[in-house]
């Protein structure tokens, strides 16, 4: 399973993800940790990133990889990518997913559960407008309008509790702290979510991943707080 978070400030967006992939054995619900180094945060353009989550990451990665191989203007903003991605997935639904879902329905199998969060900014001159949206992989549906100031995918319970402190006017470091705290505290309570947190920031200068030492520094603060 996964925990991914996108949060929008006044003129920036933060993306955060854990790095664990697990396998659940349905008979006794035991969890097997497969990897702690899985990438769930991807750059799409200079101003847009995507987070993936769900119980079927390989399916999500397949469609995302197929989409990322398509030519796309690197200066395009979040609204363009959301519309473009939505059209792509509608085509994928007709060609690949609908026949597959008919197959699993016929044999009474569980449908794959995955999703994506699209986060970035639109630029109009000097004006920066953060935007966040999501794709429901089960129904291949993406809302036409951005969805609020933050979106949490995967193991939501603890993160949503922590994000009660969210404010749109938070400074960058304050919001980074909140994102990492949500991932780290969920990891302490649920071994389907693993650390370290992977972080990226998108602002008027573009997409940039935050270095691991920042995540480690913030994680260390959380560990000291929990003592």
CATH architecture classification, 3-226: 4-Layer Sandwich (3.60)
What is the predicted pLDDT for the residue at 2? 82
Chunked mean pLDDT (size 10), the chain, 227 residues: 89 91 55 70 94 72 83 88 81 61 53 78 80 69 67 90 92 90 88 83 93 62 62
Domain locations in the chain as residue ranges: 3-226
What is the predicted pLDDT for the residue at 71? 87
pTM for the full model? 0.82
What is the predicted pLDDT for the residue at 15? 95
* HEC assignment per residue over the chain: CCEEEEEECCCCEEEEECCCEEEEECCCCEEEEEECCCCCEEEEECCEEEEEEECCHHHHHHHHHHHHCCCCCCCCCHHHHHHHHHHHHHHHHHHHHHHHHHHHHHCCCCCCCEEEEEEEEEEECCEEEEEEEEEECCCCECCCCCCCCEEEEECCHHHHHHHHHCCCCCCHHHHHHHHHHHHHHHHHHCCCCCCCCEEEEEECCEEEECCHHHHHHHHHHHHHHHC
């Amino acid at each position: 399973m996964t925990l991914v978070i996108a949060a929008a400030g006044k003129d920036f967006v933060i993306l955060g993800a854990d790095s664990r992939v697990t396998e659940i054995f349905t008979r006794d619900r035991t969890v097997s940790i497969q990897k702690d180094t899985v990438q769930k945060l991807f750059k799409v353009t200079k101003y847009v990133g995507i987070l993936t989550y769900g119980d079927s990451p390989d399916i999500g990665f397949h469609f995302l990889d197929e989409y990322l191989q398509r030519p796309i203007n690197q200066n395009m903003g979040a609204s363009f990518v959301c519309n473009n991605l939505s059209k792509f997935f509608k085509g994928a639904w007709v060609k690949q997913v609908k026949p597959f879902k008919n197959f699993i329905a016929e044999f009474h199998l569980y449908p794959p559960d995955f999703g994506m969060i699209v986060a970035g900014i639109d630029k109009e001159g000097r004006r920066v407008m953060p935007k966040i949206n999501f794709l429901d992989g089960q129904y291949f549906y993406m809302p036409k309008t951005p969805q609020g100031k933050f979106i949490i995918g995967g193991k939501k319970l603890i993160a949503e509790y922590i994000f009660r402190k969210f404010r749109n006017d938070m400074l960058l470091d304050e919001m980074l702290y909140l994102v990492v705290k949500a991932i780290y505290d969920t990891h302490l309570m649920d071994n389907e979510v693993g650390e370290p947190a992977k972080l990226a920031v998108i602002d008027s200068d573009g997409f940039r991943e935050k270095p691991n030492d920042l995540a480690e520094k913030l994680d260390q603060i959380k560990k000291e707080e929990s003592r």
